[in-house]
Amino acid sequence: MFDKARSCLAKPLYGAAIVLASFWLGPASATTDYHIETLTQGLEHPWSMAFLPDGRMLVTERPGRLRIIAADGKLQEQAVSGLPEIFATSQAGLFEVALDPEFSSNQRIFISYSYGDRDANNTRLASARLVDNQLQDVKTIFTALPAKAGTAHYGGRIAFLPDNSLLLTLGDGFDYREEAQNLSNHLGKIIRINRDGSVPADNPFVDVKDAAPEIYSYGHRNVQGIIYVPQLKRIYSHEHGPRGGDELNLIKPGVNYGWPLITYGVDYNGAQISPYTELAGLEQPLLHWTPSVAPSGLMVYNGTRFKYWQGDFFASTLAEKSVRRIRMKNGMLAGQEVLFEELDERIRAVYSAPDGYIYLLTDSSEGRVLKVIPTE
């Protein structure tokens, strides 16, 4: 059932990430010996995974399929039926699947995906009940506007907050980066809604004329990682920069994170996007990666299998083909390591699973679910 990768020691990182001058990324306090096993293979560009209470897993495939994996890793041949119509091409498709925090009693899941066509599309969020191998009571609870042309930068990650609301990350649509500063639309924003799709009364722009009331923060490029950390009562996200300037941010309501007015990156052709890396009133990242690592997923490790990693953040990367372990100490960033480079694969997402192990999704037409296991 399992295909083993070679055992490896975590590698401390010295200076491979450029950071703010006030923050030095030093070596990790301890390395961890691990091995990696293939749990499931044969997935087409897997994007997200959720762990069901009975040990099974839900996995999205970007082309528009929701799959079920048994606890032993066997992929159910038939995809889950009942998904809404999904626009899938290039970066567009089916993104996140997330269980309602009360899934055991209501069987509800949330899915994010792109809607529309090549000339008019954006991100949408729906809820549904998972009944056997079918989605029932599918409801659209949020639609990002305006519909725009192109097939890039959708965001799509979900995080639940303890007040019964949720956060959904969005992208700037690539060709519409200036709209990240426009409060009248959803491009380049993180939005907050209640789980029924209604707008929380305490959202920061509810009473601002012409502002989209769902907006929680703005000035983002393409946010593909977000977590709420209960122990710290904080929200963290990361987003893709252009060439360089990928960011890890502490998310606060109503705050402007600067894109594209400030950035540590340049355009793909080398052209300057902004002469500024900081301006008054615009939030600085906790750290940035230059050159770009292309961060694609974010989690906080809360298991017991890797004792040295408890409470640390893990960011999967596409361009670097790694996972960045971001050490946390007393609520502060304390260093980084580069992990899992030996796989030499684009890693779409990283998870702290209920069994205490770490799971990875590889981003390819022959994508896999990988299980990281400490070596005794």
The Cα–Cα gap between 74 and 302 comes to 26
Q: Is 153 a catalytic residue?
A: yes
Alpha carbon distance 315, 326 (integer Å): 8
CB-count burial class (<10 Å; 0-12, 13-18, 19+) for 69: buried
Among 153, 186, 240, 288, which one carries the catalytic annotation? Answer: 153
Rounded-to-integer distance, Cα 39 and Cα 188, Å? 35
Structure tokens at 74: 């066997």
For 130, phi then psi, to 5°, come to: -90, 110
Nearest CA among 46, 91, 143 for reference residue 350: 46
Encode 32-58: b = buried (16+ Cβ within 10 Å), e = exposed. bebebbbbbeebbbbbbbbbbeeeebb
User: Does the bond joining 260 to the residue before it have cis omega, within 30 degrees of 0?
Assistant: yes
Single out the residue of 173, 172, 171, 166 nearest to residue 155, CA to CA: 171
φ/ψ (deg, to 5) at 103: -55, -40
Closest residue by Cα to residue 338 from 8, 4, 6, 11: 11
Region label for 164, one of left (φ > 0), alpha (ψ between -120 and 50) or beta (otherwise): left
Enzyme catalytic residues: 153
